[in-house]
């Protein structure tokens, strides 16, 4: 366990950040899962900007890498566009 006052504070801050990152990461993963489950193009098209924004925020905060964010958004966009082509 930490002995210095500043190190103890850093441990507390790291725990708060970890909990916050886990919450936002899990919320975003659930939103991605829900978007992938949608079968109608109109509904998916409305949900896509919201999910893309969540992914961008994770990348901005450093929870996920910016390239991972770009790959996720690209795959989701292809999925949404394929729903339009399927009809």
User: Each residue of 56-80: pLDDT tens digit?
Assistant: 999 999 999 999 999 999 999 999 9
Predicted confidence at residue 85, as pLDDT, reads 80
pLDDT tens digit string along 36-57? 999 999 999 999 999 999 999 9
Predicted confidence at residue 87, as pLDDT, reads 64
Distance CA 34, CA 19 (A): 23
Provide the angle, in degrees to the nearest 10, between the axes of the packed helices 41-61 and 5-37: 160
Q: What is the mean pLDDT of the chain?
A: 94
Handedness of CA 72, 33, 47, 82 (dihedral sign): positive
The pTM (predicted TM-score) of the whole model is 0.86
Residue 24 near residue 31, CB atoms below 8 Å? no
Q: Is 66 helix (H, G, I), strand (E, B) or coil?
A: helix
């Amino acid at each position: 366990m930490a002995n210095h006052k500043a190190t103890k504070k850093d441990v507390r801050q790291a725990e708060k950040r970890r909990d916050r990152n886990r919450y936002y990461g899990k919320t975003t993963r659930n939103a991605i899962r829900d978007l992938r489950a949608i079968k109608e193009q109109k509904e998916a098209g409305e949900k896509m900007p919201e999910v893309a924004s969540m992914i961008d925020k994770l990348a901005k905060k450093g929870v996920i890498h910016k390239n991972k964010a770009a790959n996720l958004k690209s795959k989701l966009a292809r999925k949404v566009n394929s729903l339009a082509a399927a009809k």
